[in-house]
Amino acid sequence: MLNPPRIPKILTRSSLAKESKPSFLEKDIETLTLSLECEKREAAFLEEQIKLMHFEISSLPKPQRSNLNTIKASLSVQEKKLDQEKNTLNQLRYHNKQLRDKIDSYRMEKSSNKQSLNIIKDTLDKTSRAANTKASELLKIYESENLQKQKIGMIRSKSVSQRSKYEEKLTTLASFLKNTNSKSKIIYEESIYQVQGVEVIGILKNMSRVFEKLTHNKKKNIDAYIRHINNLINGFEEVKKATGLYKVEDIVTAFIKSEEQGQAILHYFNTLSTDIEKLDDELRKNTERIFLIEGNKNQGDLNVQGCLDKVIQEFDSIMKKVQIKKQEVGFYGEITQNSLQNMIKIYRLLLMAGFKSDFHTSEEVERIDKLNEENFEILLGSIEEFVGFLIMVTHSKMKKVEYLHKLGQGDKNKSQSSQRFRIHELIEENDICEDPEFEEIRVPISLEEMRQRAKNIFEKRRNLVKGKLGTAETYYASTSHTALRNEL
């Protein structure tokens, strides 16, 4: 193949803007002539290529109809297979599209879930921050309330214990005073009654001493109780100053209300903790669902990829088989084309030996290189039969057994023509060459099979000759190898 000529690069007007007008026109004319010459060369080159292609197409051998039909049938089968593969590919693509749509929907759901989760996380962060701030404030309030409750409890316990103690002491003192009054009266009367001679002043002094001790002890207890009450009063005064309440009842109600508020805040914290647990469960379920969706997506991608790989592998294997078949067809075609020259020589030699085939005219010998594959196989089969018979004849020659026609009594030419070994008459004997496999197989066979068939044919011929020994038409004679070769 000749390479097409290269078109020269045409100059642009921008490169010639600074030149003069006549030189510009001359250069334009030169470029136009060069382009016309290049186009003429291209046209001539294309005409030569077309002529070469026509010559190659005319020189190509015409394909056989049967082979064309088989090739067309195989091509139609392959096209049907390819159509089926295309249909399966289209179905797989459709399923892949559906899976991709589902994956996109899952992705949209995933993105919406992520957005909702982000919003929930933001709200949770905000609520957790607010809850933490409120919890810290409530803890501070709760600690202050606990301190105040502890102080109030201490004051109450102390006041109750001291009140009970002082009430008991007052009751004991009152009872003691009553008892002492009664006893003093009784003792006074008894003293007056019993001891009338004792001095009354000494007794009174002793009694005054005893009562002085008792009253002194009682005064100490009362002073302690008064100090305790003063401490309670001072504590309530401090609470009043701290809270701004001036009544004990208001202070008690305020502490009760603060306790109730603390209980309400604890209840609110419990409800918040339950809501947070519910949100955590929902978040965990959503994450599990997202993992399942991602797993299904990966599994679907793997299934689709596996189906596509299988289809591609099958398609590649089919195309490889087609290429192998094409290579085999080309290889056998080259072998047949190469063997045609040898076939012409063998065919002409066999015609000289008296071989008959289905080609009756002399023109067919010159046109043997244009044989199609079927006629080529038929010709090879007939040549094989002829060669087999020749092997049989040579085998009979080695055993010095020949079949000759009866010699005539007339002219020598007639006797020579009658003595010539007639091959075609022997071939036409169906009793010798009857073989169903021999009729069906019209292709070249191996040398061993050819020898075996020749032996079988020779055995049949020998049996036939033995059966004809009693007739007057045949007789046996031993001749030399040269005589048999000359007759053949």
| 54-72 confidence digits (pLDDT tens) | 777 777 665 555 667 777 7
Mean pLDDT computed over 58-87:
72
From 19-23, 220-224, 348-352, the region with the lowest mean pLDDT: 19-23
CB within 8 A of 240, min separation 6: which ones?
246, 251
Q: What is the pLDDT, as a whole number, of residue 357?
A: 55
pLDDT in tens, 261-281: 888 888 888 888 888 888 888
Model pLDDT, residue 355: 58
Confidence (pLDDT) at 472: 37
Q: Which band of pLDDT confidence, cut at 50, 70 and 90, is reported for residue 254?
A: confident
- pLDDT surpasses 50 at 1: no
Which one, of 131, 130, 127, 162, lies nearest residue 235 by Cα? 162
Q: How many whole angstroms from its chain centre is CA 435?
A: 61
pLDDT of 155 above 80: no
Q: Pseudo-torsion of CA 195, 197, 198, 204, nearest 10°?
A: 80
Tokens of 96: 């892949």
CA distance 424 to 354: 8
Predicted local distance difference test score (pLDDT) of residue 148? 76
Model pLDDT, residue 61: 63
Banded model confidence at residue 20, pLDDT cuts 50, 70, 90 = low
What whole-number percentage of the chain has pLDDT above 90? Answer: 0
> What local confidence, expressed as pLDDT, does residue 19 receive?
47
Residue showing tokens 């018979």: 389
- For 32-75, the DSSP string reads HHHHHHHHHHHHHHHHHHHHHHHHHHHHSPPPPHHHHHHHHHHH
pLDDT of residue 199: 58
Neighbours of 299 (CB within 10 A): 10
* pLDDT top residue among 379 and 75: 75
Residue 369 has pLDDT above 60, yes or no: no
Residue 226 has pLDDT above 80, yes or no: yes
Tokens 């003691």 sit on residue: 176
Q: Cα–Cα distance between 131 and 102 in angstroms, integer?
A: 41
Residue range 298-348, pLDDT digits in tens:
777 777 787 788 888 888 888 888 888 878 777 776 776 676 667 667 767
Asked if pLDDT for residue 244 goes beyond 70, the answer is yes
The per-residue pLDDT for 190 is: 67
pTM, two decimal places = 0.23
CA distance 336 to 371: 10
CB of 418 closer than 8 Å to CB of 385: no
pLDDT of 238 reads: 80
Contact 397, 481 (CB under 8 A): yes
Neighbour-count burial of 419, counting CB atoms closer than 10 A to its CB (0-12 exposed, 13-18 middle, 19+ buried): middle
Give the chain's mean pLDDT: 69
Is the pLDDT at 486 greater than 60? The verdict is no
Interval 206-231 mean pLDDT:
85
Residues pairing with 301 in the sheet: none
Nearest Cα residue to 381 out of 433, 315, 441, 292: 441
Q: For residue 14, name the pLDDT band (cuts at 50, 70, 90).
A: very low
- Radius of gyration (C-alpha) of the chain in whole angstroms: 69
In the predicted structure, residue 392 carries a pLDDT above the cut 50: yes
Pick from 31-45, 363-377, 474-488 the range whose average pLDDT is largest.
31-45
Rounded to the nearest 10°, the torsion over CA 257, 262, 268, 272 is: 170
Span 445-472, pLDDT tens digits: 666 777 787 778 777 767 766 655 444 3
pLDDT at residue 474, as a whole number: 40
